[in-house]
Structure 1
Amino acid sequence: MKMSENRSTSARDGAVERMEQEVSRSFLGSPRAVRLALCALFGGGHLLLEGPPGVAKTTLAKAIADAGGCAFKRIQMTPDLLPADITGAFILDPRTGNFSLRKGPVFTQTLLADELNRATPRTQSALLEAMQEGAVTIEGETYALPEPFFVIATQNPSEYSGTYPLPEAQLDRFMLRVRLNYPEAEVEKAMLDRYLRSVEGTRAILSPELILQFREKVRQIHIEPELLDYLVRISNDTRTHRTIALGASPRASLALAEAARAWAYLDGRDFVLPDDFAELLEPVFAHRLILRPEAELEGFSAERVLEEIKKSIPIRAR
């Protein structure tokens, strides 16, 4: 592939790098998790964080919003939450006799849907239109949401009680899923030290306007035709693999392409490398795949199947 090492973007010339450092100062977990989260933000997608309670999923979400200078709202998902509690509703004003719109928490720039899989499927679906269209419909009227609109949802692993599996349509709206695990002992000690010393909160490094500008730059990142062929072959293989009941959709293919662009941008390049797809395949595809029951009984996982597919499809570079 014709790629010049001199072709570099302005992504890492200061502001974005400082934002990544600021988020990492507040979230002391995996640096890769921070990079993947920023990849979703600048790639124009949404982020799903998965892990057991207490591993700083909410901390990471809040740090991204604060460092990005974005308005932030949090919804604690519960089984009794209604769709109108998310989107809002028209309320009668007894003084005037008129109805006025009381906007729900979805009217923000960064929305944290905490423990999304504790809400009922009906309530989970209230986010679908917002995530795809950047707008919500209330009583037949459509209302645009503030830009940039970025949903960060957290979920506990399915083995935890009181959880509802996210439907396929909902999962497909998330560009990336990032799994957070318990920290190493040294990291946990640093977390304790930080909070016991009351370290300064996350500072605003960017602004909503700058994030939109960076998103536009990400859209200009070049992807060689051979890499698109490689991407499509992987997607097709997930649809025909003997262990997979539901493979990657065209939306998943687009998400991988956009995520790879953002990954390259954050790395200071204006072109995508094969390694970008390899790095992002599991975070972008794994949560979208549904395995056949017999495959799960045999010990297969989405991650294992994707690794097999990746190894079976060589990248033809020139």
Structure 2
Amino acid sequence: MSRVAESTIGRSREVELLLAALDGGAHVVLEGPPGTGKSTLLRTVARSRDVPFHFVEGNAELTPARLVGHFDPARVLSDGYVQEIFVDGPLAAALRDGGLLYVEELNRVPEETLNVLITVMSEAELHVPRLGRIDAAAGFRLVAAMNPFDAVGTARISAAVYDRTCRIAMGYQTAGDEVQIVSARAPEVPPVWRAGVVELTRRTRSHPDVRVGSSVRGAIDLVRVGTSLAVARGCPVDDWQVGLDAAFVSLSGRIRLSESAGRTPEDIVRQLYEDVFGPRPADSDDPARDGDSPGEAVARRQGRAAVR
């Protein structure tokens, strides 16, 4: 378990719970907002156990046939419905090889497809018309993930699903854990500035006008964009205007405002940015202004340097 914990920062408890559930023969639902490491956790667990891993993206297009598999239509005409021409879908493949079937965005899966999963979890077998029964090999487990806070394009998960699974809730990691994640996945930057970026991102989750805040992915992108922008403008990555522009790009599309907010995402991002990094310094050497393109900022900078 120690190897898994090292790869999933701040998730030692969830790693322990997931391994215990899988070893106990249970199917599992991981619930939490985006960016909390649900997919990373399960992929790491699968690698550590050296078991086959089958990924399914849950959406309205996931029909039972796409999940289970199908007969090759070109060969049905010549050979008929024989086992040799059946093309396994991810569910059939996971059942045969005793692997982990990971269903992402479970609450976006159509009801008729969910019913197939319910039967498999109950009976440990799958009945396919014209093919017969596929028994679950030892080790087969279903692990599903979902964001319970997303109401667009989703449906409520029935009690039948919850009755057949164990549930592990995954919230956001601590600030220290998120700093480590950003450090591992983004370019090297001054530690104080990186910590401020994480703090800014975390504050989007508690602002009164924000319904859904940004995950740590926003902080990672902010550091990446800020690093590139600083190179383009010829200034430090912790330059005030560079950070603000990178924050606009990285965070404004990730937050969802309350209907009564009456503000734009950019308003919220700027407010939070100034709360963390302070207002624009009066003696700032950066002549960039809000709304500047990188080229305009560089041009003014070069022009002022020529005057000097």
What TM-score results when the alignment is normalised by the length of structure 1?
0.53
Deviation per CA, 1:175-202: give whole Å up to 9, x if none.
Answer: x2111111111101211233348xxxxx
Equivalent-residue separation in structure 2 for 1:79 and 1:29 (angstroms):
33
CA distance in 1, matches of 2:38, 2:118: 21
Change (3 A) 1:159 1:92: closer
2:80 is the counterpart of 1:98: yes
CA contact (8 A) 1:121 1:167 kept: no
CA shift, 1:72, in A, is 0.2
How far apart are residue 90 of structure 1 and its match?
2.1
- The residue number in structure 2 matching 1:79 is 60
- Structure with max Cα Rg: 2
Match of 1:22 in 2: 3
* Pairing 1:33–2:33 present: no
Secondary structure of the structure 2 residue equivalent to 1:112: strand
Q: Distance in 1 between matches of 2:26 and 2:145?
A: 15
Residues 99-248 of structure 1: pairs in structure 2 closer than 5 A:
99=81, 100-106=85-91, 107-108=93-94, 109-139=99-129, 141-174=132-165, 176-196=166-186
Q: Percent identity?
A: 29
Which residue in the other structure is 1:51 paired with? 32
Q: CA RMSD in A?
A: 1.8
8 Å CA contact 1:158–1:165 kept in 2: the answer is no
User: In 1, distance between residues paired with 2:36 and 2:74?
Assistant: 43
Q: Provide the rounded CA distance (Å) in 2 between the counterparts of 1:195 and 1:165.
A: 34
1:173 to partner: Cα distance: 0.9
List per-residue Cα deviations over 1:117-176 (Å, max 9, x = no partner). 0111111112112222222111051112332001110011145322111111111110x2
Report what 1:310 is aligned to.
none
Distance (whole Å) between structure 1 residues aligned to residue 183 and residue 135 of structure 2: 42
3-state SS of 1:178 partner: strand
1:91 CA drift (Å): 2.4
Structure with the bigger RCO (C-alpha within 8 Å, sep 6+) is 1
Amino acid at match of 1:98: G
State the AA in 1 paired with 2:180: A
Provide the rounded CA distance (Å) in 2 between the counterparts of 1:27 and 1:123.
31
Stretches of 4+ moved more than 4 A in 1? none
Mark the runs of 5 or more structure 1 residues left unpaired by the alignment.
Answer: 1-19, 198-318
SS in 2 for 1:96: helix
1:93 to partner: Cα distance: 3.4
Report the equivalent of 1:89: 70
CA drift at 1:62: 0.6
Cross-structure match for 1:63:
44
Distance 2:35 2:56 in 1: 17
Q: One-letter code of the match for 1:160?
A: A
**TM-score, scaled relative to structure 2:** 0.54
Give, in whole Å, the separation in 2 of the partners of 1:74 and 1:148. Answer: 16
Contact 2:33 2:149 in 1 (8 A): no
What is the distance in 2 between the residues matched to 1:25 and 1:134? 33
- CA gap of 1:34–1:97, structure 2 versus 1, over 3 A, is same
CA drift at 1:21: 0.9
Does the CA contact (< 8 Å) of 1:89 and 1:138 recur in 2? no
**Structure 1 counterpart of 2:117, one-letter code:** L
Give CA deviations for 1:237-267 in whole Å, capped at 9, x if unaligned: xxxxxxxxxxxxxxxxxxxxxxxxxxxxxxx
For structure 2, the 5+ residue unaligned runs are 188-308
